Amino acid sequence: MRILFATDGSATADVALDLLLSFPLRPSDHVTVLAVPVHTYTGVGIDGTGVYFAEIAQEETAAARRLAQTIREKIGAKGVPTTARIDEGLVAQTIIDVARSEGAGVIVMGSRGLGRLAAAVLGSTARAVSRHSPIPVLVARDRREAPRRILVAADGSDDAYVAIRTLAALPLPTRPEVTLLHVLPERAAPATHGAASPEELQATVERCDREDALDILSRAGKLLPGGASVRMELERGRPSERILEVAAGSGTDLIVVGARGRSLRGEGFLQGSTTDELLEKAHCAVLVARAPERMSAKPKPRHEGVPAGAV
């Protein structure tokens, strides 16, 4: 698997590096270490705009280069092909662009969720990359060991299936314990219709929800890495709360989620705000993925006399 490790030399980036180094990386894997220099302004120009000295910018770039090379050597010492890159630009967009150009299967980076204010300012890069990257993103938090207890939030969305396939491609420890979780929707009591009582309608709705959930979990289970110990769990309620509760109760090392639900109508339980909340509040690493965008096109007219779906 090709992995892009993005670092800024911060403490949380060190946590992400420890996490990456704890994976049983293989000679067939490849890691690109990326450092994006962040240039500091030193004053205000005549026109009122911020300015910085070329010498300072050069030193900041040199420091980023030294950082990337140092990390490259640490990862390379494990026998994994590793390269280092320095790229200039807006940090989040540069990380995404480099991941694309390197053909990365996952981006690994740190989270800076250190309280409300710090999360709003310092955590913006991790959130921006997770929201917009077409490449799956593994955001490390306070746990530094390769995940052995994994919680997969399965809602049947294309994004969730991409996340599970990414998990299966990662160099994981032997026989990880995987919990497949589906959160059932909170539903109001159905209105009576015909001769059916409210209790009968409620039972029918709940049965349909359960059947749909079990089908989703079954399909998700077929995509999991071989050798994994798997159990399935159904919960009902607010998705982010149920996911975080189950993760905390089971000692989860990694939460795996799709970036979006099954449709804009909210059929899938994972929407953008839910994923943001998981990134902010989870005690463990979070893997976020999204399916490739599909080009919208007008449906082709069916041939006369040919049944629908046969063209």
Q: Average of pLDDT values for 58-64?
A: 90
Q: How many Cβ atoms sit within 10 Å of the Cβ of residue 101? A: 12
- Could you report the per-residue pLDDT of 80-99, keeping only the tens digit for each? 999 999 999 989 999 999 99
Q: Average of pLDDT values for 230-248?
A: 94
- Could you report the per-residue pLDDT of 19-48, keeping only the tens digit for each? 999 999 999 999 999 999 987 665 655 565
Write the class of the CATH domain 1-45+53-143.
alpha beta
- At residue 196, the pLDDT reads 67
Instruction: Answer yes or no: is pLDDT of 68 > 90.
Output: yes
Which segment of 55-59, 124-128, 207-211, 237-241 scores lowest on mean pLDDT? Answer: 55-59
- At residue 20, the pLDDT reads 97
Q: How many Cβ atoms sit within 10 Å of the Cβ of residue 277? A: 16
Label residues 236-271 b or e (16+ Cβ within 10 Å = b). eeebbebbbebbeebebbbbbbbbbbbeeeeebbbb
Which segment of 77-91, 140-154, 195-209, 278-292 scores lowest on mean pLDDT? Answer: 195-209
Six token digits for residue 270: 């994972």
Six token digits for residue 269: 């339980």
Q: Average of pLDDT values for 269-293?
A: 84
Which segment of 20-34, 84-98, 208-222, 292-306 scores lowest on mean pLDDT? Answer: 292-306
DSSP letter assigned to residue 303: P
Confidence tier at 263 by pLDDT (50, 70, 90): very low
Q: Average of pLDDT values for 273-302?
A: 75
- Give domain 147-293's CATH architecture: 3-Layer(aba) Sandwich (3.40)
- At residue 48, the pLDDT reads 59
Dmax of the chain from CA atoms? 82
Looking at per-residue pLDDT, the higher value among 40 and 65 belongs to 65
* Percentage of residues in the chain having pLDDT higher than 90: 59
Confidence tier at 149 by pLDDT (50, 70, 90): very high
Mean pLDDT of the chain: 83
- Could you report the per-residue pLDDT of 153-162, keeping only the tens digit for each? 999 999 999 9
Instruction: Round to whole Å and give the CA distance between 278 and 239.
Output: 10
Residues of the chain with CATH 3.40.50.620: 1-45+53-143, 147-293
CA 261 from centre of chain: 13
Confidence tier at 255 by pLDDT (50, 70, 90): very high
Instruction: Answer yes or no: is pLDDT of 56 > 60.
Output: yes
Instruction: Round to whole Å and give the CA distance between 253 and 148.
Output: 7
Looking at per-residue pLDDT, the higher value among 224 and 58 belongs to 224
- At residue 185, the pLDDT reads 81
- Could you report the per-residue pLDDT of 164-195, keeping only the tens digit for each? 999 999 999 999 999 999 999 876 666 656 66
Q: Average of pLDDT values for 199-216?
A: 86
Q: Average of pLDDT values for 2-31?
A: 95
CA distances from 260 to 158, 201, 243, 257, 280 (A): 8, 30, 15, 9, 16
* Percentage of residues in the chain having pLDDT higher than 70: 78
